[in-house]
Amino acid sequence: MDFSIAMTGFVAIYIFMLAGFAGWVIIGHVPAILHTPLMSGSNFVHGIVVVGGIFALLNASTLQQQAIGFFAVLLGAGNAAGGYAVTDRMLAMFQVSDHRKPKVAHARAHHAKKT
Amino acid sequence: MLITTAQFAIGAVDLAAAFLFLFGLQRMSSPVTAPSGIKVAGVGMAVAVLASFLYVFSVEDAAKPFLVTNISLAVIALVVGGGIAWFAGKRVAMTAMPQMVAIYNGLGGGAAGAIAAVELFGGKYSGLTQLGVTLLGALIGAVSMSGSIIAWAKLDGVLNRPMRFKGQRELNALVLLVTIAVGGTIVFATSMRDFLDISTSGLIYGFLALSLVLGILLTLPIGGADMPVVISIYNAFTGLAVGLEGFVLQNPALMIAGMVVGAAGMLLTLLMAQAMNRSIANVLFSNFGEVSAQKQGAIKGELKPTAAGDAGIAMRYASKVIIIPGYGLAVAQGQQKLYEFVKLLQAGGVNVKFAIHPVAGRMPGQMDVLLAEAGVPYDMIFQLEDINADFATTDVALVIGANDVVNPAARTDRSSPIFGMPILDADKAKQVYVVKRGEGKGYAGIVNSLFYGDNCNMVYGDAQAVLIKMIEAVRGLGLPAAA
């Protein structure tokens, strides 16, 4: 069985169209209160570019390609790791009032004890 | 056999990663599920990165002698790049978040540009369509990288004034045209390579350098207040560049993730521009902030200062208070004290809500994050469209470190640069207190008629110092907390 993927012409355009539509619809539902974590979260998602960087670096066959490939992985890894770190930190801060969600209030009390 | 197995594993893992990204982003649409959303997306990223090392089984023949070196380089780059960014991200102050997002975004754009450069120098694209897409991805990625760095410098205050000169737009258009022409030459030279022996190496360097210069030139004239929109656009750009490079590398996970972010970034940019009642073109090319030094309509009334303690006590005796925080609050690091004051009011039975304007802070939603950091529960925080009707029945509106977003001129004064921008109707409250450092103007440089209204008093001083005085005054009353 052949598991290689070939995306040419219309297949690629279909993928782009559907993905673009999915992004538009998903983000359209996000409330304004989450816009900053969302922007940094989507910023994290394009950190997947690091995978492309690894591919390019592994296939590098000249010093020039190695240098640029190394640069690509370095930057891509920074994008992914940094984007995750800040988004996770921000989202952990969002809490509801104590009386509505006792479970969250408990978690916060626990956190307060630690600090 | 090994190659097929590796190929299958990479395909399956990337498929899972693409699903986890979409699922994670979808979970981010509510504050309740959002923290798990980023973790889901994080798992997708981790497995995709690990699986990408399976490419070692299918490297090109030319690269085989370098395999060990290349694997080591990849691991070092992952650890160093990821490690530095991780620690920076864990330590950065929440007020500096927009700069940090700008940097991370620039890194992603640079990575996409660098991948394109490897493909271009190595001639690894198959066919002219792929070459064209590679070049487009390189252009967008490079613009995003250098533009994001300028945006960072502006947000961080390294560059504190827009750089504008005569003929700037013409120069930018010229640079763009030359860049496209160089790209076209590369395509042409490549299509002719069977007949002519032209080295495209120099052209590729030129193309990449011009793209970087273009990103700098485009971003320099835009004012600091508009940087959130700019970051959002560059975020979309990086997504697009990643998607295009994904096509070149025939990697559907990159294509999907990149395009999802590209579309999401465009939507977010549009929403932001809407919140300021301006078009994206207006943000990018209008040199906003220069026109506002124009004549101001005569404003009746005068500024009426009052003591912080008096304002605090008045709020304690009110039944309904809405607080409008702005970036000035964050600059004064007053969020913690503000919430302490709010808890004091709540203990006295006062109904307190926060009203957040969509463009409060230096990026949309940043004020929400800063309040969340201080411990304010998000169900006390209301967005403009949900709370504006409440001001008419509110006893006190406390404006703290915000200015343009409560300027009634946006509703009434056609000559005002912010006319038409949706604002928080603080002026409709029975009493308004404005906490401000001095009599200066807001970011847009416009006089605020709210401050001169009969129902408005000014409390001058640093937001944090003012809040401490308010807390002391209310405590000094010695009132029992409401049951």
Same domain, B231 and B304: no
Same domain, B165 and B216: yes
CA–CA dist A16, B247 (Å, integer): 9
Is A68 touching B (CB cutoff 8 A)?
Answer: yes
Residue B263 has its nearest CB partner, among A20, A56, A75, at A20
Is residue B327, in this structure, part of any structural domain at all? yes
Angle at B105 between CA B102 and CA B107, to 5 degrees: 115
**Chain B CB contacts of A100 below 8 Å:** 379
How do the residues of chain B divide into helix, strand and coil, expressed in percent and rounded to 5? Answer: 65, 5, 30
Same domain, B303 and B392: yes
Same domain, B223 and B349: no
Q: Is A24 in contact with B90 (Cβ distance < 8 A)?
A: no
Give me the pLDDT at residue A111, please. 47
ipTM surpassing 0.90, yes or no?
no
Q: Is B81 in contact with A89 (Cβ distance < 8 A)?
A: no
Rounded to the nearest angstrom, the minimum Cα separation between B130 and chain A is 9
Give me the pLDDT at residue A74, please. 97
Ranges under pLDDT 70 in chain B: 1, 286-300, 440-445, 480-483
Is residue B198, in this structure, part of any structural domain at all? yes
Same domain, B306 and B267: no
Neighbours of B439 (CB within 10 A): 11
Same domain, B300 and B285: no
0.90 surpassed by pTM: no
Q: How far is CA B197 from the centre of its chain?
A: 46
What contacts B473, CB < 8 A, 6 or more positions away?
Answer: B308, B309, B310, B312, B313
Is residue B83, in this structure, part of any structural domain at all? no
Q: Report the domain count for chain B.
A: 2
Q: Is A41 in contact with B41 (Cβ distance < 8 A)?
A: yes
- The whole domain housing B388 covers 294-475
Residue B254 has its nearest CB partner, among A51, A74, A87, at A51
Is A93 touching B (CB cutoff 8 A)?
Answer: yes
Give me the pLDDT at residue B482, please. 59
Is A97 touching B (CB cutoff 8 A)?
Answer: yes
Q: Is A76 in contact with B111 (Cβ distance < 8 A)?
A: yes
Same domain, B463 and B370: yes
Q: Which of B251, B266, B290 is the last residue before a domain boundary? A: B290
Instruction: Give B200-206 contacts, CB < 8 A, sequence gap 24+.
Output: B200/B120, B201/B121, B204/B117, B204/B120, B204/B121, B206/B182
Q: Is B255 in contact with A45 (Cβ distance < 8 A)?
A: no
Same domain, B280 and B355: no
Q: Is A27 in contact with B14 (Cβ distance < 8 A)?
A: no
CA–CA dist B97, B104 (Å, integer): 11
Rounded to the nearest angstrom, the minimum Cα separation between B297 and chain A is 33
- Catalytic site positions of B: 404
Same domain, B165 and B203: yes
**Is residue B261 exposed (0-12), middle (13-18) or buried (19+ Cβ within 10 Å)?**
buried
Rounded to the nearest angstrom, the minimum Cα separation between B431 and chain A is 27
Q: Which of B271, B290, B309 is the last residue before a domain boundary? A: B290
Q: Is A90 in contact with B238 (Cβ distance < 8 A)?
A: no
**From start to end of B259-409, where are the E strands?**
320-325, 351-356, 381-383, 396-400
**Chain B CB contacts of A32 below 8 Å:** 271, 356, 358, 364-365, 368, 383
Is A102 touching B (CB cutoff 8 A)?
Answer: no
Angle at B383 between CA B381 and CA B384, to 5 degrees: 135
Rounded to the nearest angstrom, the minimum Cα separation between B295 and chain A is 34
Give me the pLDDT at residue A30, please. 79
Is A13 touching B (CB cutoff 8 A)?
Answer: no
Is residue B225, in this structure, part of any structural domain at all? yes
Give me the pLDDT at residue B325, please. 92
Same domain, B309 and B399: yes
Q: Is A26 in contact with B59 (Cβ distance < 8 A)?
A: no
Q: Is A95 in contact with B375 (Cβ distance < 8 A)?
A: yes
Q: Which of B242, B267, B290 is the last residue before a domain boundary? A: B290
Same domain, B299 and B427: yes
Is residue B181, in this structure, part of any structural domain at all? yes
Is residue B279, in this structure, part of any structural domain at all? yes
Q: Is B375 helix (H, G, I), strand (E, B) or coil?
A: coil
Is residue B73, in this structure, part of any structural domain at all? no
Is A111 touching B (CB cutoff 8 A)?
Answer: no
Which CATH number fits the domain that encloses residue B326?
Answer: 3.40.50.1220
Same domain, B241 and B367: no
Which tokens is B50 given? 């690990």
**Chain B CB contacts of A62 below 8 Å:** 121-122
Q: What is the mean pLDDT, run by run of 10 residues, along chain A of 115 residues?
A: 68 92 86 86 94 95 94 97 95 74 43 44
Residue B35 has its nearest CB partner, among A48, A74, A91, at A91
Give me the pLDDT at residue A98, please. 62
Angle at B392 between CA A95 and CA B476, to 5 degrees: 65
Give me the pLDDT at residue B20, please. 95
